[in-house]
Amino acid sequence: MWPGGNNVKKLVVWGASGHAMVVADIVRLRGEYDIVGFLDDVTEGRNGEEFFGLPVFSGRDSLAMLCGQGVRHAIVAFGNCPARLKVAEYLRAQGLELVTAVHPSAVVARDVVIGEGTVVAAGAVINPGVHVGANVIINTSASVDHECTIEDGAHICPGVRLAGRVAVGEGAWIGIGSSIIDRVRIGAGSFIGAGSVVVGDIPDNALAYGVPAKIRKRIE
């Protein structure tokens, strides 16, 4: 385990790939939890493997074992938006508390509302009046300006720039380095390709990319 603070609370990270390393490092820096390891229910045969200095537990059956050992907290740490929401729902149903992880270097205005299970990575900036839902990722050096709304399960990728009053729907993915002008709405389940410049609303379940971004197809 990685040691936490004086009030030790055990936590498992659901996910065991690159993003899970980032999330585990944020949790470690906050010093509030002991991370017992990573849970991987996707890749077979990883049980007992070491990853980022901690053990990997394979399969959902491992969760019951961990709960029996006093684990009461969890965080979901992989990028797939719909799957992340489903896993978060499953963890809550098992009685675990989803924790929020905000990197110490992130700049977050004091009135910002952040939901449970959300990750705010290093160098991110979230300005006043922003509402961030549950199980969102605000990734490395992303900038979210005033009065934006980001709904549950969305992923704001590294280096994204959201101007004021942008609304991002549930489970939407804003690709790395994209920019979105003020008052635009990105629909639920939509995917904005890397490096795009979005100057108008994007409907639900749409793939859009380019400069300016154009809708390329519907996502089934």
> Does residue 219 belong to any structural domain of this protein?
no
Statement to judge: residues 58 and 140 lie in one domain: no
> Does residue 44 belong to any structural domain of this protein?
yes
Burial of 6 (0-12, 13-18, 19+ CB in 10 A): exposed
Which residue among the candidates 73, 103, 131, 146 is catalytic per the annotation? 146
Which pLDDT value is given to residue 51?
A: 93
155 annotated as ligand-binding: yes
Statement to judge: residues 66 and 88 lie in one domain: yes
> Does residue 129 belong to any structural domain of this protein?
yes
Structure token pair of residue 171: 């489970």
Which pLDDT value is given to residue 19?
A: 97
Statement to judge: residues 93 and 107 lie in one domain: no
DSSP string, the chain: -B---SS--EEEEE--SHHHHHHHHHHHHHTS-EEEEEEESSSTT-TT-EETTEEEEESTHHHHHHHHTT--EEEE--S-HHHHHHHHHHHHHTTPEEPPEE-TT-EE-TT-EE-TT-EE-TT-EE-TT-EE-TT-EE-TT-EE-TT-EE-TT-EE-TT-EE-TT-EE-TT-EE-TT-EE-TT-EEPTT-EEPTT-EE-S-B-TTEEEETTTTEEEEE--
| Average pLDDT rounded to a whole number, residues 191-212 | 99
What is the per-residue pLDDT across 153-176, written as a single tens digit (0 to 9) for each? 999 999 999 999 999 999 999 999
Which pLDDT value is given to residue 72?
A: 97
Point out the domain boundary residue: 99, 127, 157.
99
> Does residue 218 belong to any structural domain of this protein?
no
189 annotated as ligand-binding: no
| Average pLDDT rounded to a whole number, residues 197-203 | 99
Which pLDDT value is given to residue 202?
A: 99
Statement to judge: residues 19 and 75 lie in one domain: yes
pTM given for the model: 0.94
Q: How far is CA 40 from the centre of its chain?
A: 17
CATH number at residue 94: 3.40.50.20
CATH number at residue 186: 2.160.10.10
131 annotated as ligand-binding: no
What is the per-residue pLDDT across 74-121, written as a single tens digit (0 to 9) for each? 999 999 999 999 999 999 999 999 999 999 999 999 999 999 999 999
Statement to judge: residues 33 and 111 lie in one domain: no
Statement to judge: residues 69 and 156 lie in one domain: no
Band of residue 60 on the pLDDT scale cut at 50, 70, 90 = confident
Point out the domain boundary residue: 66, 83, 99.
99
Which pLDDT value is given to residue 1?
A: 53
Look over the chain and give the mean of its residue pLDDT values, rounded to a whole number: 95
> Does residue 220 belong to any structural domain of this protein?
no
Point out the domain boundary residue: 69, 99, 129.
99
By the 8 A CB rule, do 198 and 192 touch?
yes
Count: domains in the chain:
2
Statement to judge: residues 150 and 174 lie in one domain: yes
> Does residue 5 belong to any structural domain of this protein?
no
Residue-range definition of the domain harbouring residue 83: 10-99
Catalytic (active site) residue 146? yes
The yes-or-no verdict on residue 183 having pLDDT over 70 is: yes
> Does residue 73 belong to any structural domain of this protein?
yes
Look up residue 42 and give its DSSP letter. S
Burial of 178 (0-12, 13-18, 19+ CB in 10 A): buried
Statement to judge: residues 132 and 151 lie in one domain: yes
Which pLDDT value is given to residue 142?
A: 99
176 annotated as ligand-binding: yes
